[in-house]
């Protein structure tokens, strides 16, 4: 059985809640744009009665090129994320890359996120768990689903941890491609934790443009629909009003104006899939 995880006003993995959405821009570009995206997502949450956790990174520490835009930094980024929560009521999440970032981020965000490249970093996982906040760990692109049980065990080794989510974002296939094995979603969910499907990072083409990551946003909806049909607890989507002008991951982001129609599709599928979930 999956152990539900409370995240602010949202509970992920609850039997009566067929789907949760984690959504927002890849990186915090500025205050006004971030609040605009959050406000639009909050309205979608109200109209569709779907719980949404707002996501945006204050630092993209794993950009392909050292010249790429990384974000506003932790202090400025956390101030904006706190304003998002105050103005919209949405729980928030952001990436942490170093153990000493865990505590200050936990003072603002209701969910901590571990990037895929850092999924095996024991000190980072333990620092996140020790905050008492829930932790969303993205499965490394280089890891098999079964290996994520060690991630779960590390977090659960900390007394009073806030719970753990596992997030699938594709597996390396050759040098420039990610693939998704939908059986891995089932395998990870059998570990007793809620599972999230990252539909936008799953369509990345690592190094596809030489000095930056490419992607194919046309494949986001088909993959998201397939994952929800398999039976998961949430979907992760990055979005932007003008993805082609986003400084990070624009090629695989969903245009903000298209998010609501996609979520409607996913909710319909989720209602059916809930019949066979644990």
* pLDDT tens column, 205-222: 876 555 556 778 899 999
In the numeric block, which tokens belong to residue 247? 């400084």
> Mind listing the pLDDT tens digit for each residue in 228-276?
999 999 999 999 999 988 887 778 999 999 999 999 999 999 999 988 7
Specify whether the CB–CB gap between 113 and 95 falls below 8 A: yes
Neighbours of 103 (CB within 10 A): 14
Instruction: Break the chain into its structural domains and give their ranges.
Output: 5-276
Q: What contacts 24+ positions apart, CB below 8 Å, involve 38-47?
A: 38/84, 38/87, 38/88, 38/90, 39/87, 39/88, 40/256, 40/259, 41/88, 41/90, 41/239, 41/259, 42/88, 42/89, 42/90, 44/259, 44/260, 44/263, 45/21, 45/90, 47/260
8 A C-beta contact, residue 111 and residue 155: no
CA distance 1 to 113: 23
CATH 3.20.20.70 fits 5-276, yes or no: yes
| Mean local confidence (pLDDT), 117-139 | 98
**What pLDDT does residue 177 have?**
84
Place of tokens 């569709």: 48
Both structure tokens of 123? 């000190």
CB-CB contact of 109 with 126 (8 Å):
no
In 3D space, the residue among 215, 151, 145, 128 whose CA is nearest the CA of residue 186 turns out to be 145
pLDDT at 255: 96
């Amino acid at each position: 059985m999956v152990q539900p995880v409370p995240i602010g006003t949202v509970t992920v993995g609850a039997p009566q809640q067929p789907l949760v959405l984690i959504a927002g821009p890849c990186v915090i570009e500025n205050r006004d744009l971030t609040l605009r995206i959050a406000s639009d997502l909050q309205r979608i949450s109200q109209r569709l009665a779907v719980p949404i956790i707002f996501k945006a990174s204050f630092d993209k520490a794993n950009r392909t090129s050292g010249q790429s835009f990384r974000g506003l930094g932790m202090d400025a980024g956390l101030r904006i994320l706190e304003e998002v929560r105050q103005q919209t009521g949405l729980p928030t999440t952001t990436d942490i890359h170093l153990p000493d970032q865990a505590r200050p981020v936990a003072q603002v965000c209701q969910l901590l996120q571990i990037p895929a490249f850092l999924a095996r970093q024991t000190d980072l996982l333990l620092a996140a768990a020790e905050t008492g906040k829930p932790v969303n760990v993205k499965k490394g692109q280089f890891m098999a689903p079964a290996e994520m049980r060690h991630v779960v065990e590390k977090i659960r080794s900390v007394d009073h941890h806030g719970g753990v989510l596992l997030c699938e974002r594709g597996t390396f296939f050759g040098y420039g491609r990610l693939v998704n094995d939908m059986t891995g979603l089932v395998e990870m969910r059998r570990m007793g934790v809620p599972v999230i499907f990252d539909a936008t990072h799953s369509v990345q083409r690592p190094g596809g443009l030489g000095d930056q990551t490419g992607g194919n946003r046309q494949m986001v909806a088909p993959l998201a629909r397939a994952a929800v049909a398999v039976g998961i607890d949430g979907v992760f989507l990055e979005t932007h009003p003008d993805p082609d002008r986003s400084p990070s991951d624009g090629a695989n982001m969903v245009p903000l104006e298209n998010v609501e129609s996609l979520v409607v599709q996913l909710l319909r599928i989720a209602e059916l899939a809930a019949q066979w979930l644990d």
